[in-house]
C-alpha cells in the first residue's frame, strides 16, 4: 500500500519522477541522417536482403578457430552476398542480425566489439587503419559496390561508473548495433537495439529509445529496427506515425507456431501498417531461424524460405521497391506493390515430415473450436472472432489426423516484457486436440476449408497484423485485408497452415 506523503515530500517525489521519467513515444525526436541532406523525389530502388549462414555452422565455434578475428570467415560470406547484390543492381543491402559477430559472454564480446567514430563526422572508415577491421571492411564494401549497406555488429562505448550509474563495472557499455554506410563508405547512422531479447539482457546495455533513420539518394527515408523490436511500439511503430514508410530490419529470429514464425510476423507488420520491411535473417535451422524477404503493405516482393538441403547456403533476395509517396507527405497510398512473388521456398508439396525444429507455443490459454457451419463466433472473455464462410464445402471424411480449428486469445505473453495480445486465427493443427495447434502437421493434409473471412473485435487502440501462411511455410498470395474494416478474406485456402490477425495494444504491456 502506498504510504501517505507530506505535501512537501509529495512535491519532491513529483519533481524527481518527472525529471527522470522517460519521454513518451510522441515526444521523441525523429533522427534522420545525414541531417543536412535535402529531400529528394523518390524513385524506385533495388533492395537486397541476405539470408545468412554462419561460416562454422554455429558462431561460437569461430572463436576457437580464429581467436583474433572470429568475424573473418563470416565477412567472406558478407563479401559474397554484397557482390551478388551488386550484380543485381542493388542500391541498398541489409545484412542479418549477428551475421558477423555472435559470441558470449560479455567479457569476450567487450574484446571484439567495435568502437565507432561519431556519425556526425560521416567518416569513411575504410580509409582509417585505426578502426576495427570488420567495420573497416564493411565500409570498403559499400564503397566498392557503391551501395548503401545496413550491417549489424556489437559495438562498445567507454563510460565511467563514477559519473554514470548505468555504466557497467568494467567501464564498457555494449550494444547490439545497426550501422549504415552510404555509397561512399561513410558511416552515416547507427541504431542500438532497444528491445533486448533473452540472453542479451544479461550481456548488453539497454539504450535510450532512438527513432533512427537515414535519408537516401533515391528519396526513401529508411527507419532502423532489429529483431524483437518488431513486437513493440518503439522504435518502428512510432516512426510509421512520423511518416517513415521503409524499414531495414536485421534479425536472428527463432520460429514459433502457431503465431510467431518469421514469415508470419515479418510479412504481417508491413501489411498491417502499410509500409515496406527489408528483413534479413540468420539461417540456422537448429534454432528454427529461417526466412528473409522484402515485404510491402500489399504483399511480398520476394522472399527466401528454404529449409531443404540446398537452402543451407543462404542467399540474397533482391527486388525493385516502388517509389511510393514522398517522405513526410500527409497520406501515402497503401497498396502500391504487386502481389507476392516467391523467390525460393521449401521442398515442394508431398509429405510433410521433413519440417525443421520449431518452438511450439503452449496454446492451453487459447479458446478454440473445430471449424463448423457458415458463420462461427468464438470468444475469449470480451474479445471475439467471427468467421464467415460464403459457400459451405461438403464435409469430407477425416483421412488425416490434422484438423482446422479457430483459435482466439485475449491475453498477455508471459515473458519479459509481458506483451498484450489479442489473436484470432484459423490454424491447421497436427491432431484433433488444441495442444497440437503449435506443431507442424505430419502426413497427408486434410481438405482445405472453404474460402472464409475473419474478423476480430479489436477496439481502435489495437494495432492489427494480418498474415496467411501455407504448409511448408509459404506465404499465401490470394488473400485480402482491409485496414479500415479489419476484415481478412482468404480466397485461396489450399494448403492453409495459419491465417491470423495478431493484435497488439502497446499501452497494456507490462515489464
Ligand X SMILES: *[C@@H]1O[C@H](CO)[C@@H](O)[C@H](O)[C@H]1NC(C)=O
Does 364 interact with ligand X (rule: CB under 6 A)?
Answer: yes
Does 414 interact with ligand X (rule: CB under 6 A)?
Answer: no
Helix (H) or strand (E) holding 239: helix 238-241
Considering only residues 223 to 252 of the shown chain, the ones binding ligand X according to CB under 6 A are none
- Total binding residues toward ligand X, as defined by CB under 6 A: 8
Least Å from the CB of residue 74 to ligand X: 9
Does 413 interact with ligand X (rule: CB under 6 A)?
Answer: no
CA distance 507 to 176: 25
Does 133 interact with ligand X (rule: CB under 6 A)?
Answer: yes
Among 32, 48, 49, 75, interactor with ligand X by CB under 6 A: 75
CA distance 366 to 423: 9
Nearer to ligand X, 75 or 282 (CB): 75
Question: By rule CB under 6 A, what string of x and - marks binding of each residue 31-50 to ligand X?
Answer: --------------------
Nearer to ligand X, 365 or 461 (CB): 365
Among 40, 63, 69, 491, interactor with ligand X by CB under 6 A: 69
Among 50, 77, 131, 137, interactor with ligand X by CB under 6 A: 137
Least Å from the CB of residue 70 to ligand X: 10
Residues whose CB falls within 8 Å of the CB of residue 152, separated by 6 or more in sequence, listed in order: 95, 96, 97, 98, 99, 100, 176, 177, 178, 179, 226, 250
Nearer to ligand X, 53 or 317 (CB): 53
Instruction: Tell me the torsion sign for CA atoms 483, 44, 87, 58.
Output: negative
Taking contact as CB under 6 A, which single stretch among the options 129-137, 306-314, 348-356, 400-408 is the one that binds ligand X?
129-137
Q: Please give the grid coordinates belonging to residue 374.
A: 457458415
Residues whose CB falls within 8 Å of the CB of residue 121, separated by 6 or more in sequence, listed in order: none
* Torsion angle (degrees, nearest 10) of CA 104, 106, 110, 112: 0
Nearer to ligand X, 362 or 392 (CB): 362
Taking contact as CB under 6 A, which single stretch among the options 133-141, 234-242, 392-400, 449-457 is the one that binds ligand X?
133-141
CA distance 168 to 70: 24
Q: In Å, what is the CA distance from 265 to each residue of 121, 256, 280? A: 36, 10, 13
Least Å from the CB of residue 260 to ligand X: 17
Alpha helices in 467-508 (DSSP H): none
Least Å from the CB of residue 402 to ligand X: 19
Look at strands 211-215 and 221-224 and give their pairing: antiparallel
Q: Are 320 and 44 in contact (CB under 8 A)?
A: yes
Q: Please give the grid coordinates belonging to residue 328.
A: 513526410
Does 450 interact with ligand X (rule: CB under 6 A)?
Answer: no
Among 25, 40, 44, 72, interactor with ligand X by CB under 6 A: 72
Instruction: Tell me the torsion sign for CA atoms 232, 343, 486, 493.
Output: negative
Does 362 interact with ligand X (rule: CB under 6 A)?
Answer: yes
Least Å from the CB of residue 387 to ligand X: 25
Nearer to ligand X, 25 or 411 (CB): 411
Binding site for ligand X (CB under 6 A): 69, 72, 75, 133-134, 137, 362, 364
Amino acid at each position: 500500500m502506498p504510504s501517505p506523503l507530506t505535501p512537501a515530500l509529495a512535491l519532491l517525489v513529483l519533481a524527481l519522477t518527472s525529471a527522470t521519467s522517460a519521454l513518451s513515444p510522441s515526444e521523441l525526436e525523429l533522427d534522420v541522417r545525414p541531417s543536412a541532406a535535402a529531400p529528394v523525389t523518390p524513385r524506385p530502388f533495388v533492395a537486397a536482403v541476405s539470408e545468412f549462414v554462419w561460416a562454422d555452422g554455429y558462431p561460437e565455434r569461430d572463436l576457437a578457430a580464429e581467436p583474433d578475428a572470429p568475424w573473418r570467415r563470416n565477412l567472406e560470406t558478407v563479401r559474397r552476398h554484397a557482390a551478388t547484390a551488386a550484380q543485381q543492381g542493388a542500391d541498398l543491402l541489409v545484412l542479418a542480425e549477428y551475421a558477423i559477430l555472435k559470441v558470449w559472454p560479455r567479457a569476450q564480446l567487450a574484446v571484439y566489439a567495435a568502437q565507432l567514430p561519431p556519425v556526425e563526422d560521416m567518416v569513411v572508415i575504410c580509409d582509417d587503419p585505426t578502426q576495427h577491421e570488420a567495420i573497416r571492411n564493411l565500409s570498403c564494401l559499400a564503397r566498392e559496390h557503391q551501395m548503401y549497406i545496413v550491417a549489424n555488429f556489437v559495438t562498445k562505448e567507454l563510460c565511467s561508473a563514477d559519473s554514470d550509474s548505468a555504466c557497467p563495472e568494467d567501464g564498457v557499455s555494449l550494444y547490439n548495433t545497426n550501422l549504415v554506410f552510404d555509397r561512399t563508405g561513410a558511416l552515416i547512422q547507427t541504431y542500438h537495439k532497444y528491445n533486448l531479447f533473452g540472453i542479451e539482457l544479461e550481456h548488453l546495455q539497454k539504450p535510450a529509445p532512438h527513432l533512427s533513420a537515414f535519408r537516401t539518394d533515391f528519396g526513401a527515408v529508411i527507419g532502423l529496427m532489429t529483431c524483437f523490436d518488431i513486437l513493440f511500439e518503439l522504435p518502428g511503430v512510432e516512426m510509421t506515425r512520423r511518416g517513415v514508410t521503409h524499414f531495414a530490419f536485421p534479425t536472428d529470429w527463432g520460429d514459433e507456431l502457431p503465431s510467431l514464425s518469421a514469415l508470419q510476423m515479418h510479412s504481417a507488420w508491413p501489411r498491417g501498417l502499410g509500409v515496406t520491411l527489408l528483413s534479413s535473417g540468420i539461417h540456422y535451422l537448429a534454432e528454427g531461424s529461417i526466412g528473409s524477404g522484402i515485404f510491402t503493405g500489399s504483399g511480398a516482393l520476394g522472399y527466401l524460405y528454404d529449409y531443404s538441403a540446398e537452402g543451407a547456403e543462404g542467399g540474397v533476395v533482391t527486388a525493385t521497391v516502388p517509389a511510393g509517396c514522398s517522405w513526410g507527405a500527409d497520406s501515402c497510398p497503401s497498396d502500391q506493390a504487386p502481389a507476392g512473388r516467391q523467390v525460393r521456398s521449401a521442398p515442394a508439396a508431398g509429405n510433410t515430415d521433413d519440417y525443421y525444429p520449431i518452438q511450439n507455443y503452449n496454446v492451453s490459454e487459447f479458446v478454440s473450436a473445430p471449424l463448423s457451419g457458415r458463420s462461427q463466433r468464438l470468444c475469449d472473455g470480451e474479445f471475439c472472432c467471427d468467421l464467415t464462410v460464403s459457400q459451405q464445402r461438403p464435409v469430407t471424411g477425416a483421412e488425416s489426423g490434422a484438423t482446422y480449428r479457430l483459435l482466439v486469445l485475449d491475453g498477455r505473453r508471459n515473458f519479459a516484457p509481458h506483451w498484450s495480445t489479442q489473436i484470432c486465427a484459423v490454424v491447421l493443427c497436427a491432431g484433433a486436440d488444441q495442444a497440437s495447434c503449435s506443431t507442424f502437421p505430419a502426413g497427408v493434409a486434410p481438405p482445405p476449408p472453404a474460402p472464409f473471412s475473419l474478423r476480430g473485435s479489436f477496439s481502435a487502440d489495437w494495432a492489427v497484423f494480418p498474415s496467411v501462411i501455407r504448409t511448408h511455410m509459404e506465404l499465401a498470395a490470394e488473400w485480402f485485408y482491409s485496414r479500415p474494416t479489419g476484415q481478412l478474406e482468404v480466397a485461396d485456402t489450399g494448403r492453409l497452415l495459419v491465417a491470423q490477425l495478431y493484435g497488439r495494444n502497446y499501452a497494456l504491456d507490462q515489464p
